[in-house]
């Protein structure tokens, strides 16, 4: 096939739709997942404010959502997109399924980052009279910032892969181009171009995340 002006324009639109779905879903996933991760740590038996039953229920819900394959979750949640967005196709309709799929993953990433902090640091903050919120905002978050940034890069690339899979249901973006034009219309060159562009986006996101992580890591200064 020849990559004429219309094909190039379609690829540019696909890149924009992929970035739009990925970035907005990542933001919303962190708006939901970051507090959930904090609650998982704080309400644990050894946490600052132990509520074991809440921690177990929340952990169970998160594990259940994480265990559902994304394509199945996508078909389950799309009716909700129809109610909220007004449509089940296009990149805006994919925001809700992507957010619901990614938020539990983000919660576990945040929880894991918090648990890496030395207990002595937390005990020192407690001995100085710091409140729970002060420990979270002034101790936990600054101390685990490098780990959180690496986790954010991994989460965003995971959401990017989900957005590509959303192309099976008319989600738009590079995934839809690879499937609808490359695979179904037997245009392998276009499919591979879309795949290469997705790989490039993943590499860019990963590199940005690693650079920010190194810049914020006090141990390598």
Give the pTM: 0.85
**Percent of the chain as helix, strand, coil, to the nearest 5:** 80, 0, 20
**What total of structural domains would you count in the chain?**
1
What's the domain range around 113?
20-171
Q: What is the pLDDT of residues 17-71, one digit of tens each?
A: 999 999 999 999 999 999 999 899 888 887 777 888 898 999 999 999 989 999 8
Looking at per-residue pLDDT, the higher value among 61 and 220 belongs to: 61
Our CA angle for 157, 165, 192, nearest 5°, is 85
SS (H, E, C) 141-172: HHHCHHHHHHHHHHHHHHHHHHHHHHHHHCCC
CATH number of the domain encompassing residue 46 = 1.10.3720.10
Q: Indicate whether 10 belongs to any domain.
A: no
For residue 206, tell me if it sits in a domain: no
Query: pLDDT per residue over 81-105, tens digit each?
Result: 889 888 888 888 899 999 999 999 9
């Amino acid at each position: 096939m020849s990559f004429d002006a219309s094909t190039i324009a379609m690829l540019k639109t696909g890149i924009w739709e992929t970035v739009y779905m990925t970035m907005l879903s990542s933001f919303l996933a962190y708006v939901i997942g970051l507090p959930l991760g904090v609650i998982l740590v704080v309400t644990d038996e050894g946490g600052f404010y132990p509520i074991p039953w809440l921690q177990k229920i929340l952990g169970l819900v998160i594990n259940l959502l994480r265990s559902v394959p994304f394509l199945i979750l996508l078909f389950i949640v799309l009716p909700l997109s129809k109610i909220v967005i007004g449509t089940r196709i296009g990149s805006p309709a994919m925001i809700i399924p992507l957010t619901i799929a990614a938020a539990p993953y983000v919660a576990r990433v945040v929880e894991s980052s918090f648990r890496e902090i030395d207990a002595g640091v937390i005990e020192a903050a407690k001995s100085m009279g710091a409140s729970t919120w002060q420990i979270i905002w002034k101790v936990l978050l600054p101390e685990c910032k490098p780990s959180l940034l690496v986790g954010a890069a991994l989460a965003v690339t995971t959401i990017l892969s989900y957005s590509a899979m959303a192309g099976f249901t008319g989600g738009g973006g590079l995934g839809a181009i690879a499937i609808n034009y490359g695979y179904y219309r037997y245009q392998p060159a276009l499919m591979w171009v879309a795949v290469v562009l997705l790989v490039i986006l993943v590499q860019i996101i990963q590199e940005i995340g690693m650079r920010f992580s190194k810049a914020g890591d006090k141990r390598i200064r």
